[in-house]
Structure 1
Amino acid sequence: MKALFNNQIIAESDKTISFDGSTYFPKSSIIEKYFKHSEKSSLCDEKGVAYYYNIEVNGEFRDEAAWCYSETTEYAKKIENYVAFWRGIRITYDM
């Protein structure tokens, strides 16, 4: 699977996980030069604490368009250190 923004691949993996309506990519599959840590975090009682990333590709910017649970609850262990996307990031199923 691929995650794309502004016609650029920003993550690619055949080891994604579908969980609670989102597709999660291994953190190792993101192209780090497009990601900057946001100051935002949020607490989900079911999953744990999520940390957010801002994404910038070729001058196009999306605030907090990706998130990662680095410490999860037992319920969400399988997505620990995986990254999911929203806010205009396109997910495709072709490899």
Structure 2
Amino acid sequence: MVIATWNGQVVARSDDTEIVEGNHYFPADAVDREFLRPSDTTTVCPWKGTASYHSLEVDGAVNPDAAWYYPAPKEAAANIKDRIAFWRGVEVTES
């Protein structure tokens, strides 16, 4: 089981993550949407495509752009379609 935690709250949990460049990509339905907030931020990866972001909000604390996903990944990254990864202090652990 892989668990993502931020600010003392589990924000995602799954036995089915894809690891790309050291990041666990969780299935979208394994992420607790209660903690996701929309973001206008995007970035571009030459081989994965354009990433979109969510901020996390837990108990009133906000972690800007702490979750990202590729809505339309390039063919080389097709395995992370409909998956979300985390950074910026989100602790991802395997148990």
Q: Same fold (TM over 0.5)?
A: yes
Consecutive aligned runs of 4 or more in structure 1 exceeding 2 Å deviation: none
Q: State the secondary structure of the residue aligned to 2:41.
A: strand
Aligned counterparts of 1:44 and 1:16: Cα–Cα separation in 2: 20
Question: Hey, what's the Cα distance between the residues in 2 that align with 1:56 and 1:82?
Answer: 19
Count of residue pairs brought into register by the alignment: 94
Partner residue, 1:61: 62
CA distance in 2, matches of 1:35, 1:19: 22
What percentage of aligned pairs have identical amino acids?
35
The 2-side partners of 1:10 and 1:27 are apart by: 11
Aligned to 1:48: 49
Summarize deviations over 1:2-29 as a string: whole Å, max 9, x none. 1001111000000011111211101111
The RMSD of aligned alpha carbons is 0.8
Gaps of 5+ in 1: none
Matched with 2:76 is 75
The answer for unaligned runs of 5 or more in structure 2 is: none
